[in-house]
Structures are given as C-alpha cells and as structure tokens.
Amino acid sequence: MNPNYNQNYTKEDIENILYIIKECIRSNKYTISFNQNRRENIAFVNDYNIRSDKQKSILLNIKVDDFCHSLQNTNIGYEHEVLYVFVPQVSLFNIDDVEEVVDIYTKFNIIDYGETNRTIVISFHKCNKEIDYAFR
C-alpha cells in the first residue's frame, strides 16, 4: 500500500467522518467534480447512465466498511486538506443494459466552514487500482 495512505482510524472515527459527509449530501451541500480534470467521473456516469438522484443514493449508502484510507491533498495551496477514500460495491446496469457489480472509487474532501460543512466528491468512478479496505 502507498506509504501516503493512512488507515490509522477506528470504526468510530470513520462513522463520524461519514456522518459529516452524509449530512452534507442530505442537505445538498456537496458537489461531484465533473470538470475537465475529472473526465473519468464523467465517463463513468455516462457509461452507467447514473442520474443525479442515483448518484446521491449511491453516496448516501456508503458504509463504514467501505472505507479504504485517507491521504493528504497534494495540490498546491490545499496541503492542509485530508481526503477520504471509500469503495462501495454497487449493482449497476451498463450501457448494454447488463447488470454488474461495480467497485466505485469515491474520494471526499470535507470543507469546514465552522458552523457548516460542504463536501466535494473528487472521485466518483469505477475503481481502477488495488485497494485495501481498512475494516474488511
């Protein structure tokens, strides 16, 4: 596993982090990155025809056991941010209308605004690398 990945969390730690993420999603204080640097996210949503309501449902159904690791943001000016990676397994229909179980690589950034939070879903695509679950 990459030495920059941190799995040094308890289940309670991740429950708390996931609670914040899900509160942001429930209150529509979240964004999935679909910019030019996130073409993989766009392709994934298009390949599986995942509408916004289904995207939200997938995110709200992530579980503590889906947690893999956290890592420091390496983008200049954002080094203080911690990113959290979860890989849920979800049943989806592909472009040929064939059902398949897909490992979805999700990476979250929680933006703390004091009283309120916001979350950015940086990655939302088919998992394309080896992953280790922290609690499985």
**Tens of pLDDT, residues 96-117:** 999 999 999 999 999 987 778 9
Number of domains present in the structure of the chain: 1
CATH label of the domain that carries residue 114 = 3.30.2310.40
Tell me if 135 is assigned to some domain: no
Which structure tokens are listed for 20? 């914040």
Tell me if 37 is assigned to some domain: yes
Give the span between the Cα atoms of 39 and 81, in whole angstroms.
22
pTM: 0.93
Give the span between the Cα atoms of 34 and 66, in whole angstroms.
23
Tell me if 4 is assigned to some domain: no
Q: pLDDT band at residue 1, thresholds of 50, 70 and 90?
A: low
Phi and psi of 122, rounded to 5°?
Answer: -70, -40
Tell me if 1 is assigned to some domain: no
pLDDT tens, position by position, 25-49: 999 999 999 998 899 999 999 999 9
Tell me if 17 is assigned to some domain: yes
Tell me if 5 is assigned to some domain: no
SS3 48: coil
Tell me if 121 is assigned to some domain: yes
Print the domain residue range for 74: 11-126
Tell me if 134 is assigned to some domain: no
